[in-house]
Amino acid sequence: MPKSPEALLEFLGKLGIEAETHRHPALFTVSDSQSLRGEIPGGHTKNLFLKDKKDNFFLVTVDEDAQVDLKTIHHKIGAASRVSFGKPDKLMEHLGVEPGSVTVFGVINDDHHRVTVVLDADLMDNDIINAHPLTNEATTSIGRDDLMRFLEAVEHQPLVLKVTE
């Protein structure tokens, strides 16, 4: 059973990580997010759940306005071949979320460590990172260093790479 947004926020609290969560109507696209966001400071994320031909899975998290070349990203992230989007059943299996709710926080559900986390270097220039807390009906703001602590706590050492164009 995937963890709930409440369980995620409780886990962050147990780590001593302060995070602020803003509730809002469900957001499915970056455009939806930008129109309803209001004044939430920091970098806002776009997440790509990708797989290569050897069924290696990648969660690539970039700034919401970033351009990613899916034809060449496999060279940058160490995929075995060109990548495609992971299917919804694999997204649920590995990250415990549905399409529209993909988030870096989803790796809390990746108990088997099947997903490689890739954070874009440009996104990591922000002091605050904003991501869905396992639901697209909220946005959670977390410090960049606290995000790294969270990833370490769930045993996902991220690759911080320049993946955007």
DSSP one-letter string for 93-134: HHHS--TT---GGGGGG-TT--EEEEEETTGGGSSEEEE-SS
Predicted confidence (pLDDT) per residue in 104-157, tens digit: 999 999 999 999 999 999 999 999 999 999 998 999 999 999 999 999 999 999
Whole-prediction pTM: 0.92
Homologous superfamily, domain 5-161: YbaK/aminoacyl-tRNA synthetase-associated domain (3.90.960.10)
pLDDT at 33 over 80: no
pLDDT at 28 over 70: no
Each domain of the chain, given as residue ranges in start order, spans 5-161
